[in-house]
């Protein structure tokens, strides 16, 4: 069965940008800024519902980039700008001079407060919580003063102190989807230890964990995740656009990698190009690929990476396109 | 081998990368224009006045090769895309924090209809007292990398098409009397797997051009770039070193006979470097390249700094250069030829 979904960060709207500037200049207070964030969240959820998609992120409107402001909540300092993979988009690099310490599940608390604030708490089950993946965070951070001895030790500590804390709170609050953004898994083979940690999160979290991999496609990592997906609610979100895997030739290869999954999300709408895809071409592709995914109970149609790389009006058109695709197949 | 042009400069010529902070009143004038409260002629007058102001400021600071501060350009890619037929704008996208740019989309075959920055150069020449001026053009790889491609079958096709257009523009600048054009390619090292053809594409812009051509590449992977030094058909590479604490400066020993535009001023810090720090940076560079191969500049454009700080940084950069020039003069090295 095909369904549509959106994940990750949406374009920061002019309304938010303006409100943030005014907030930084002291012209509006925190409460007024929160109202703007919430209005945009409401707009997004209305858009997603109208497009008949089955789930959405919160747009990550409160985030400057994948790591901020979370990194300042977990005891990291914020360094200079760094390019976010091969995009003309830059993030503030987290710097760990001491081990992570995390007071509480701030991200989940904000999400739930925002949903309550707009009277949409009944939609809590369709809205995902977004977090940076452990390997992506560890790879893109700077460690000083021997705060961590390896990238893996930082990743492990982050899962134990942050992801598990958020997952536990999400379970209590009724959040059913956790998006772990792991673009690094498009390039680096995931260590077995990390796979075990994902499993630990899934044991604690009463919902689905979406390992969201973008900017490339990594067959080996998909297979590794496949091995644990049978006993858990871990679902990969794969980017089929960046490596041009949207033709007939790709179907056999991709189909083989994905055949074991009961649920899978296929990123087939390009979030890094304004060109609108042909619905007919993609429908043909999905129908063909669907035949090879015999174990899949749910196939989610989605975009390949954050929609925030697009201008707002194109991102909206692409969300509508996902809805059309999912409902017309 | 670089060829000498019939123009001399003091040893260690001082220059800028290109952009300079817009005077506050110009920012206000642009806002008024966007709100429809002043017309295009009034805006042009404001731009002209701003160029005069910032050129004078650079010259007073002692800069040998000034630019027009890119006063007329909001953004280095947007400005070119607005003036090449085939681009379309759908709206702003975020680059970092709360900073956006109007990312263009290529929606049809690109056509070079008329000169893009030639009038800028002509105005600069009218108001500057210097013989050699720097004109900056955005390079084809960076324009393509920072645009959406809806039309060309591949990014490579798009970059080569843009290279032809930029080449035409540089030829128009040469006809107009420009002596020194810098091609800005900050994105060049973004995708290592594209470097092979990207180098060929940026070299296309130099074809049939007989003036000095530099290329500016910042905040990138210099170890990777150094593998291509010998293939780049530019006489000068303007590189950023202060921001990275002069790490990677060792790559300069692979420069051959090319020149370096040595970035000695960090444009992302408001701290004003001392003349002694600048002199020290130069002495560090002398371990790898001869003084005759060095031009001195900030790491990158100064536009994001407060104007006062930008000026103070340039003044101290020149003072630092003077310390080293004095020593070089004692060794008989006073002036160098402009080379292409």
Q: What integer is the mean pLDDT of A105-120?
A: 97
Contact B190 A21 (CB under 8 A): no
Contact B149 A17 (CB under 8 A): no
CB within 8 A of B136, min separation 6: which ones?
Answer: B17, B18, B67, B70, B76, B117, B181, B182, B183, B184, B216
In this structure, is residue A295 part of a structural domain? yes
Domain count, chain A: 1
H or E segment and range at residue A31: helix A30-50
In this structure, is residue A22 part of a structural domain? no
pLDDT at position B155? 97
Q: How confident is the model at residue A82 (pLDDT cuts 50, 70, 90)?
A: confident
**Sign of the C-alpha dihedral, residues B21, B23, B28, B30?**
negative
The residue with tokens 């209005």 is A39
B157: tokens are 């096709």
- By CB neighbour count within 10 A (0-12 exposed, 13-18 middle, 19+ buried), where does A130 fall? buried
**Sign of the C-alpha dihedral, residues B27, B28, B32, B38?**
negative
Cβ-count burial B6-32 (b if 16+ within 10 Å, e if not):
eeebbbbbbbbbbbbbbbeebeebbee
* Residue range A25-47, pLDDT digits in tens: 999 999 999 999 999 999 999 99
pLDDT at position B294? 98
H or E segment and range at residue B18: none
In this structure, is residue A41 part of a structural domain? no
In this structure, is residue A163 part of a structural domain? yes
Q: DSSP secondary structure string, A168-229?
A: HHHHHHT--EEEEE-GGGGTSPPPHHHHHHHHHHHHH-SSEEEEE--SS--HHHHHHHHHHH
Report the C-alpha gap between A242 and A272 in whole angstroms. 9
Report the C-alpha gap between B309 and B71 in whole angstroms. 17
Q: How confident is the model at residue A232 (pLDDT cuts 50, 70, 90)?
A: confident
Nearest-CA distance from B244 to chain A in Å? 11
Contact B150 A274 (CB under 8 A): yes
Report the C-alpha gap between B105 and A192 in whole angstroms. 42
Omega of the bond leading into A69 within 30 degrees of 0 (cis): yes
Q: DSSP secondary structure string, B133-188?
A: -EEEEE-HHHHHHTSEESSSSSHHHHHHHHHHHHHHHHHHHHHTT--EEEEE-TTT
**CATH code for the domain in which residue A204 is found:** 3.20.20.210
Q: List CB contacts (< 8 A) between A21 and chain B.
A: 98
Residues of chain B in Cβ contact (below 8 Å) with chain A: 90-98, 100, 103, 105, 145-146, 148-150, 187, 190-191, 219, 268
- Res A79 pLDDT > 80: no
Contact A88 B145 (CB under 8 A): yes
Contact (CB, 8 A) for A153 and A183: no
pLDDT at position B268? 86
pLDDT at position B1? 81
What is the number of residues in chain B?
Answer: 340
Nearest-CA distance from A128 to chain B in Å? 23
Q: List CB contacts (< 8 A) between B187 and chain A.
A: 88
- By CB neighbour count within 10 A (0-12 exposed, 13-18 middle, 19+ buried), where does B292 fall? middle
**Sign of the C-alpha dihedral, residues B96, A271, A73, A141?**
negative
Report the C-alpha gap between B94 and B211 in whole angstroms. 37
In this structure, is residue A139 part of a structural domain? yes
Report the C-alpha gap between B266 and B274 in whole angstroms. 12
Q: DSSP secondary structure string, A3-16?
A: EEB--SPPPPPHHH
* Residue range A300-329, pLDDT digits in tens: 999 999 999 999 999 999 999 999 999 998
The β-bridge partners of A235 are A210
What do you get for the CA distance between the two ends of chain A, in Å?
A: 9
How many C-beta neighbours within 10 Å does residue B83 have? 16
Say yes or no: A103 contacts chain B, CB-CB below 8 A.
no
pLDDT at position A217? 96
B299: tokens are 């790491």
Report the C-alpha gap between B81 and B165 in whole angstroms. 11
In this structure, is residue A37 part of a structural domain? no
Q: Which domains does chain B have, with CATH numbers?
A: 4-339 (3.20.20.210)
pLDDT at position A1? 86
| Exposure on the CB side of residue B209, measured as CA atoms within 13 A | 31
In this structure, is residue A254 part of a structural domain? yes
Say yes or no: A86 contacts chain B, CB-CB below 8 A.
yes
Mutate to test the interface with A, among B75, B89, B90, B104 (most CBs of A within 10 A): B90
Contact B94 A91 (CB under 8 A): no
**Parallel/antiparallel/unpaired status of strands A263-269 and B259-263:** unpaired
| Exposure on the CB side of residue B12, measured as CA atoms within 13 A | 30
Contact (CB, 8 A) for B106 and B140: no
Task: State which residues form the domain around A194.
Answer: 2-11+52-328
Contact A308 B93 (CB under 8 A): yes
B69: tokens are 């501060």
- Res A80 pLDDT > 80: no
Of A134-138, A183-187, A254-258, B230-234, give the lowest mean pLDDT range. A254-258
**Parallel/antiparallel/unpaired status of strands B236-240 and B212-217:** parallel
Contact (CB, 8 A) for A53 and A298: no
A164: tokens are 């598990």
The β-bridge partners of A85 are none
* Residue range A285-303, pLDDT digits in tens: 999 999 999 889 999 999 9
> In the 8-state DSSP scheme, what is residue B16?
-
In this structure, is residue A43 part of a structural domain? no
Q: List CB contacts (< 8 A) between A86 and chain B.
A: 190-191
Contact (CB, 8 A) for A95 and A72: no
Question: Would you say the ipTM is above 0.90?
Answer: yes
pLDDT at position A294? 87
- Of the candidates A11, A65, A81, which has its C-beta nearest B93's C-beta? A11
A 269-288 residues inside an 8 A Cβ radius of B: 272-275
Q: List CB contacts (< 8 A) between A17 and chain B.
A: 98, 100
H or E segment and range at residue A238: strand A234-239
pLDDT at position A167? 96
**Mean pLDDT per 10-residue interval, chain B, length 340 residues:** 92 98 97 97 98 98 98 96 98 94 97 98 98 98 98 98 98 98 96 95 98 94 95 97 91 97 94 98 97 98 96 98 97 96
Q: Bin A60: left if φ > 0, else alpha if -120 < ψ < 50, else beta.
A: left
The full 3-state SS of B273-321, as one line of letters, equals CCHHHHHHHHHHHCCCCCHHHEEEECCCCCCCCCHHHHHHHHHHHHHHH
């Amino acid at each position: 069965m095909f369904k549509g979904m959106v994940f990750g960060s949406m374009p920061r709207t002019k309304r938010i940008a303006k409100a943030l500037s005014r907030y930084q200049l002291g012209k509006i207070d925190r409460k007024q800024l929160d109202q703007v964030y919430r209005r945009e969240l409401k707009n997004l959820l209305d858009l997603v519902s109208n497009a008949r998609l089955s789930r959405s992120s919160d747009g990550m409107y409160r985030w400057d980039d994948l790591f901020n402001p979370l990194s300042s909540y977990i005891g990291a300092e914020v360094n200079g700008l760094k390019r976010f993979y091969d995009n003309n988009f830059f993030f503030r690099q987290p710097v760990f001079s001491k081990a992570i310490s995390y007071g509480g599940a701030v991200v989940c608390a904000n999400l739930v407060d925002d949903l309550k604030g707009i009277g949409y708490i009944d939609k809590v089950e369709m809205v995902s919580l977004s977090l940076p993946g452990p390997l992506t965070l560890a790879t893109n951070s700077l460690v000083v003063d021997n705060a961590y001895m390896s990238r893996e030790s930082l990743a492990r500590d982050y899962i134990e102190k942050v992801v598990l804390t958020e997952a536990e709170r999400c379970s209590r609050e009724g959040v059913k989807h956790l998006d772990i953004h792991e673009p690094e898994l498009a390039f680096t083979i995931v260590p077995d230890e990390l796979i075990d940690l994902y499993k630990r999160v899934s044991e604690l979290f009463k919902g689905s964990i979406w390992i969201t991999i973008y900017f490339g496609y990594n067959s080996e990592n998909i297979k590794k995740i496949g091995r644990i997906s049978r006993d858990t609610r871990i679902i990969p979100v794969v980017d089929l656009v960046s490596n041009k895997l949207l033709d007939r030739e790709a179907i056999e290869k991709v189909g083989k990698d994905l055949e074991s999954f009961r649920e899978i999300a296929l990123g087939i709408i390009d979030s890094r190009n304004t060109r609108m895809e042909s619905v007919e071409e993609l429908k043909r592709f999905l129908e063909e690929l669907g035949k090879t995914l015999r174990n899949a109970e749910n196939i989610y149609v989605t975009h390949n990476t954050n929609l925030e790389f697009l201008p707002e009006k194109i991102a909206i058109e692409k969300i509508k396109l996902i809805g059309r695709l999912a409902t017309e197949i | 081998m670089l060829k000498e042009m019939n123009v001399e400069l003091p040893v260690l010529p001082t220059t800028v990368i290109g952009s300079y902070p817009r005077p506050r009143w110009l920012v206000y004038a642009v806002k008024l224009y966007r709100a429809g409260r002043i017309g295009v002629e009034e805006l042009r007058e404001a731009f002209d006045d701003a160029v005069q102001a910032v050129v004078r400021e650079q010259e007073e600071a002692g800069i040998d090769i000034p630019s027009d501060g890119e006063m007329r350009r909001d953004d280095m890619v947007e400005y070119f895309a607005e003036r090449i037929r085939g681009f379309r704008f759908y709206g702003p996208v975020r680059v970092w924090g709360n900073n956006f740019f109007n990312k263009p989309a290529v929606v049809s075959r690109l056509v070079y209809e008329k000169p893009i920055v030639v009038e800028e150069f002509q105005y600069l020449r009218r108001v500057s007292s210097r013989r050699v001026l720097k004109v900056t053009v955005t390079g084809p790889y960076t324009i393509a990398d920072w645009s959406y491609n809806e039309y060309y079958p591949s990014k490579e096709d798009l970059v080569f098409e843009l290279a032809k257009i930029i080449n035409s523009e540089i030829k128009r600048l040469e006809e107009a009397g420009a002596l020194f054009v810098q091609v800005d390619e900050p994105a060049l090292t973004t995708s290592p797997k594209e470097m092979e053809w990207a180098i060929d594409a940026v070299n296309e812009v130099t074809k049939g051009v007989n003036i000095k051509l530099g290329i500016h590449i910042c905040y990138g992977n210099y170890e990777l770039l150094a593998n291509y030094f010998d293939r780049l058909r530019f006489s000068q590479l303007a590189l950023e070193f202060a921001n990275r604490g002069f790490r990677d400066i060792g790559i300069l020993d692979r420069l051959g006979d090319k020149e370096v535009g040595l970035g000695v001023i960090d444009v992302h810090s408001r701290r004003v470097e001392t003349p002694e720090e600048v002199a020290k940076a130069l002495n560090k560079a002398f371990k790898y390249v001869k003084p005759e191969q060095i031009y001195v500049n900030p790491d990158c454009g100064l536009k994001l700094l407060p104007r006062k700080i930008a000026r103070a940084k340039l003044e101290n950069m020149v003072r630092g250069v003077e310390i080293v020039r004095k020593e070089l003069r004692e060794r008989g090295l006073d002036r160098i030829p402009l080379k292409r």
